[in-house]
A and B are shown apart, each in its own frame.
Chain A
Amino acid sequence: MEFEILARCPTTKARVSRMKLAHGVTALPTFMPVATQAAIKGLTAQQVEALGINLILNNTYHLNLRPGMKILKEAGGAHRFQGWNHNLLTDSGGFQLVSLSKFTKITEEGALFSSPFDGELTMLTPEESMAIQHTIGADIIMQLDDVVSSLTTGPRVGEAMWRTIRWLDRCIEAHEQSGKTDVQNLFAIVQGGLDPDLRDQCLEEMIKRRDRVAGYAIGGLSGGEEKDVFWRVIKQCADKLPDDRPRYSMGIGFAEDLLVCVALGVDMADCVFPTRTARFGVALTFNGPMNLRSAKYASDFKPITEGCPCPTCSDGTTRAMLHHIVALETAAAHALTQHNLVFQARVMGGARDAIMAGTFPQYLKTFFANYFGDDGYPEWCVNALRSVGVDLLEDRPNVKIIPGQGVKWDRAEP
């Protein structure tokens, strides 16, 4: 991997960088769409490529179950299997320790999964996770981590953090012995729950191994924790992680979360949110989400967003047409998935342009003003951005402040 910082925001911790991997160059910060089972649901690889996306994420646990490593080996890896010639990241399967916890038992050796399809037991060890990811052939591979829900408290959090460090060492050994370090890049994952001390200890240990990992991820978040705690953990990690390594915040997808994370120094993020919400009929816009199931769009002949370059808007697909087919025809899921991925790319591309131009603070202010309008700003966003020198209220002192998550929704009416 070649990692080069091209510009820094003079106010915040945001930066623009260039990450060169075996399948091309990706500009950071970026959002990575999730292709859990080797496909962005609803789009062909050619369509994803046409949207300008060049880094997507596959899921090791799911690919190992189906189609399985035998088939992936026959195909020559996940790139060829899914017809994707650009960069690919695989997570390690650690997240499934939480999302599929009823099928899982953790030991020091690894995680024992019971297949949800046939009940067959599979032991996913750090070495096995590496072997699977080597077969998949992703450009960025993640260490197996012991993930606990971010709502977990008590000794289990510390136990998982220390086990994650021990598993990182086993992953590094397995990866270095594979002979694939020149084409596949191992990222460590910082754990430690919501406890600042545990996070510090984890950071310290992982930074000691900086010469043997290509980048770092911040894991164990986005699991329902308070947003005011979330951003403080991100900031704590981003501040301490090495400057010359990419930083990846796992499971972040809301536009406001992405921009706060970028301001705190994060380079990469992934989430199923934009594609999943598309399948539920929600289009993302710079003025907030648009729930196309709502009757108010039934005879609205405007596109989702005027001037949006996505295939759906540029073709003139109207909100009325989308309302007519949403949740009833898969073509609606295709159209909204295309739009939402372009929206995510525009949010991050706009951030990159603004950082390069030295106008990122203004970009943030404009985004929040448009996105939340008079509904009010989430308090945690205001606090987080103040911590890096951006006062969202500077030009709008009377805007409402919303405590808690402050997520904006467009609720469907009958």
Chain B
Amino acid sequence: MSSLCAHVLAYSQRSCPIRPRLGTLSLQRLDGSSTPEIQTPGFITTSSRGVVPHLSRDHVRSTPSIRWTNIPFESFLDRMPPVPTLQPGSDPLHTFTGFPSKQHILSLSLRDPFDGREMPANNKQFVSAYCIRGVRKVTPADWKKYALACKPDLVVALSDVPYTSQPHSQKRATKSIERSTAWLADFLRPIPSTEESKLHRPDVLVNLVGGLEPRARTSFSESLVETLHGKEQEQIHPLHRLDEGVSGYIIDLLPLRLSRRLETFQSLPGQTVLDPETYVELARASLAPLPQNKVRIAYSTSSPHEILRFIRGVGIDLFDSHWAQRAAHIGVALDFRFPVISDESSIWNEEECSRPRVRSTGKRELGHNLYLEKYSHQHVRLASSFLDGTSPSSIQDAVICPCELVHQPLHQPTSLTAMPMSTT
């Protein structure tokens, strides 16, 4: 069994128990090797059908910041048995998807965390998952079988997050917590001791469920750290608490946003602006009962500002880069830095590269929309915020003609995906 090593290097000096922190992550493998360190707060690369969208493998290799990639498994359910489970070799998922185990950490989740489409209901036997041939029912036993066969580095335990039409009842929320707890316990149940399974038991991440109700979220987290007795404990023996088998926690924002949006529309017709701190508070409710030494992951943050809020509010260590990859997909080259660079800064050099425009509100945009006509005459690099040499990427230093990108549908997302990935 490999193990995820998370080291906190420094905490902020704030007095609250859940604080911003700097750290490192790496995966220690049985053969003594370990993956390159990931500095936290950092990013998890998102994938679609097992690939980083728009990047060929040589581009992935040449982007050193792609270190941890999450693979949603559901796209592989179009064939039975799922093809990655048939891949020969000691690292089936790494081999099949082309992320070398010496360089990359792979986590495996059943559902695509960014797919919020309405789905048929889960029940206590299965979770509904989506593939190109339709909806598939995946039982906890199926999920365990797939995960053990694919041998990812980390696996997200099955959780019951409903994507049926909103709103969800209190009873449904309670079921979600009960099922997620039971399925985690089932996942942690010892594997029959064959040599192979001993070698490849992946680390487990758990999705902190509980919906929009802070007490429910806290209750779920408390169930992870409470000492089990009797049959419940026997199920996970030699562990005593579920949390002992967990390497990290996931705050999944997408279902919260879907619920919250409906709630807001119902209570305040016409009001669409949500309090951005709401989600941080919900995350705090989940994380408060849990130990501080495990990795904290947030999925579906929607902007760099929200990322900063989650770092400040609850010390999140890893975020997905979906929004940045999505920006590339629609032709936006990101170009910003924190702290925000003042207009008078010597970093700006309009001759070398124009800065993102300032809106009438006085706020500077986060990047460049390369579909705008003005960029067709700018034969310069894409990002202006790194002209002082702080860019960690050679890709970013390249001169890419924006007008070339927007006329080539296959090129635009490739070049732009490599860029934000390289800055993460």
Decide if A334 is an interface residue (CB 8 Å cutoff).
Answer: yes
Closest-by-CB residue of A relative to B55 is: A331
**CB proximity of A273 to chain B, nearest CB, Å:** 17
Chain A residues whose CB sits within 8 angstroms of the CB of B347 once the complex forms: none
Chain B residues whose CB sits within 8 angstroms of the CB of A324 once the complex forms: 49-50, 75-76, 83
Cβ-defined contact, A83 with B54, below 8 A? no
Cβ-defined contact, A317 with B98, below 8 A? yes
Report how far A318 CA is from B403 CA in the complex, Å. 35
Q: For chain A, residues 23 to 68, give those with C-beta under 8 angstroms from any C-beta of chain B.
A: 37-39, 41-42, 44, 47, 50, 66-67
Cβ-defined contact, B398 with A83, below 8 A? yes
What is the size category of the interface that chain B forms with chain A? 35 or more
**CB proximity of A117 to chain B, nearest CB, Å:** 11
Cβ-defined contact, B79 with A299, below 8 A? yes
Cβ-defined contact, A298 with B79, below 8 A? yes
Decide if B51 is an interface residue (CB 8 Å cutoff).
Answer: yes
Report how far A320 CA is from B87 CA in the complex, Å. 9
Decide if B171 is an interface residue (CB 8 Å cutoff).
Answer: no
**Binary contact readout A196-209 vs B (1 if CB under 8 angstroms, 0 otherwise):** 00000000000000
Report how far A328 CA is from B75 CA in the complex, Å. 11
Chain A residues whose CB sits within 8 angstroms of the CB of B50 once the complex forms: 321, 324-325
Closest-by-CB residue of A relative to B132 is: A328
Find B96's partner among A82, A321, A329, A334 (CB 8 Å cutoff): A321
Report how far A315 CA is from B59 CA in the complex, Å. 12
Report how far A311 CA is from B59 CA in the complex, Å. 10
Report how far A331 CA is from B95 CA in the complex, Å. 17
Find A301's partner among B55, B57, B88 (CB 8 Å cutoff): B88
Chain B residues whose CB sits within 8 angstroms of the CB of A328 once the complex forms: 49, 132
Chain B residues whose CB sits within 8 angstroms of the CB of A318 once the complex forms: 87, 96
Closest-by-CB residue of B relative to A315 is: B57
Chain B residues whose CB sits within 8 angstroms of the CB of A118 once the complex forms: none
Cβ-defined contact, B379 with A74, below 8 A? yes
Chain A residues whose CB sits within 8 angstroms of the CB of B352 once the complex forms: none
Decide if B372 is an interface residue (CB 8 Å cutoff).
Answer: no
Cβ-defined contact, B377 with A330, below 8 A? no
Decide if A88 is an interface residue (CB 8 Å cutoff).
Answer: no
Report how far A118 CA is from B308 CA in the complex, Å. 45
Find B54's partner among A39, A279, A311, A331 (CB 8 Å cutoff): A331
Cβ-defined contact, B95 with A83, below 8 A? no
**CB proximity of A83 to chain B, nearest CB, Å:** 7
**CB proximity of A36 to chain B, nearest CB, Å:** 10
Decide if A335 is an interface residue (CB 8 Å cutoff).
Answer: yes
- Of B15-23, B284-292, B357-365, B407-415, which stretch is located at the interface? B407-415
Report how far A50 CA is from B48 CA in the complex, Å. 26
Chain A residues whose CB sits within 8 angstroms of the CB of B188 once the complex forms: none
Find A41's partner among B48, B96, B377, B408 (CB 8 Å cutoff): B408
Closest-by-CB residue of A relative to B56 is: A334
**CB proximity of B257 to chain A, nearest CB, Å:** 26
Decide if B401 is an interface residue (CB 8 Å cutoff).
Answer: yes
Decide if A316 is an interface residue (CB 8 Å cutoff).
Answer: yes
Chain A residues whose CB sits within 8 angstroms of the CB of B83 once the complex forms: 298-299, 320, 324
Decide if B213 is an interface residue (CB 8 Å cutoff).
Answer: no
Find B49's partner among A37, A47, A298, A329 (CB 8 Å cutoff): A329
Cβ-defined contact, B377 with A74, below 8 A? yes
User: Known: A82-B401, A301-B88, A320-B96. Contact between A331 and B132, CB under 8 A?
Assistant: no
Decide if B307 is an interface residue (CB 8 Å cutoff).
Answer: no
Decide if B244 is an interface residue (CB 8 Å cutoff).
Answer: no
Decide if B113 is an interface residue (CB 8 Å cutoff).
Answer: no
Decide if A71 is an interface residue (CB 8 Å cutoff).
Answer: yes
**CB proximity of A56 to chain B, nearest CB, Å:** 14
Cβ-defined contact, B95 with A316, below 8 A? yes
Cβ-defined contact, B403 with A334, below 8 A? no
Decide if B86 is an interface residue (CB 8 Å cutoff).
Answer: yes
Chain A residues whose CB sits within 8 angstroms of the CB of B407 once the complex forms: 37-38, 66-67
**CB proximity of B306 to chain A, nearest CB, Å:** 27
Decide if B370 is an interface residue (CB 8 Å cutoff).
Answer: no
Chain B residues whose CB sits within 8 angstroms of the CB of A133 once the complex forms: none
**CB proximity of B91 to chain A, nearest CB, Å:** 11
Chain A residues whose CB sits within 8 angstroms of the CB of B400 once the complex forms: 83
Chain B residues whose CB sits within 8 angstroms of the CB of A335 once the complex forms: 56-57
**CB proximity of A97 to chain B, nearest CB, Å:** 22
Q: For chain B, residues 38 to 64, give those with C-beta under 8 angstroms from any C-beta of chain A.
A: 48-59
Closest-by-CB residue of A relative to B408 is: A39
B132, B376, B398, B403 — which one has the most chain A CB atoms within 10 A of its CB?
B403
Find B98's partner among A44, A74, A301, A315 (CB 8 Å cutoff): A315
Chain B residues whose CB sits within 8 angstroms of the CB of A50 once the complex forms: 58
Cβ-defined contact, A42 with B404, below 8 A? no
**CB proximity of A331 to chain B, nearest CB, Å:** 4
Chain A residues whose CB sits within 8 angstroms of the CB of B121 once the complex forms: none
**CB proximity of A294 to chain B, nearest CB, Å:** 14
Decide if A280 is an interface residue (CB 8 Å cutoff).
Answer: no
Decide if A185 is an interface residue (CB 8 Å cutoff).
Answer: no
Chain B residues whose CB sits within 8 angstroms of the CB of A321 once the complex forms: 50, 96-98
Cβ-defined contact, A330 with B399, below 8 A? no
**CB proximity of A309 to chain B, nearest CB, Å:** 13
User: Known: A42-B410, A44-B415, A299-B86. Contact between A316 and B56, CB under 8 A?
Assistant: no
Report how far A338 CA is from B59 CA in the complex, Å. 12
Closest-by-CB residue of B relative to A332 is: B51
Report how far A280 CA is from B57 CA in the complex, Å. 19
**CB proximity of A163 to chain B, nearest CB, Å:** 32
Cβ-defined contact, B98 with A81, below 8 A? no
Report how far A262 CA is from B51 CA in the complex, Å. 39
User: Known: A298-B83, A328-B132, A330-B413. Contact between A338 and B98, CB under 8 A?
Assistant: no
Chain A residues whose CB sits within 8 angstroms of the CB of B411 once the complex forms: 39, 41-42, 44
**CB proximity of A304 to chain B, nearest CB, Å:** 13
User: Known: A41-B408, A301-B88, A317-B98. Contact between A67 and B403, CB under 8 A?
Assistant: yes
Decide if A151 is an interface residue (CB 8 Å cutoff).
Answer: no
**Binary contact readout B409-424 vs A (1 if CB under 8 angstroms, 0 otherwise):** 0110111000000000
Decide if A266 is an interface residue (CB 8 Å cutoff).
Answer: no
Chain A residues whose CB sits within 8 angstroms of the CB of B51 once the complex forms: 325, 329, 331-332
Cβ-defined contact, B87 with A47, below 8 A? no
Cβ-defined contact, B98 with A316, below 8 A? yes
Decide if A121 is an interface residue (CB 8 Å cutoff).
Answer: no
12 extra interface residue pairs, beta carbon distance < 8 Å, beyond A37-B407, A83-B401, A301-B88: A39-B404, A80-B379, A82-B401, A83-B400, A311-B56, A320-B83, A321-B98, A330-B414, A331-B52, A334-B54, A334-B56, A334-B414
Query: 10 interchain pairs (CB within 8 A)?
Result: A67-B376, A83-B400, A298-B83, A299-B86, A301-B86, A325-B50, A330-B53, A331-B51, A331-B54, A334-B414
Contact residues of B with A, CB < 8 Å? 48-59, 75-76, 79, 83, 86-88, 95-98, 132, 376-377, 379, 398-401, 403-404, 407-408, 410-411, 413-415
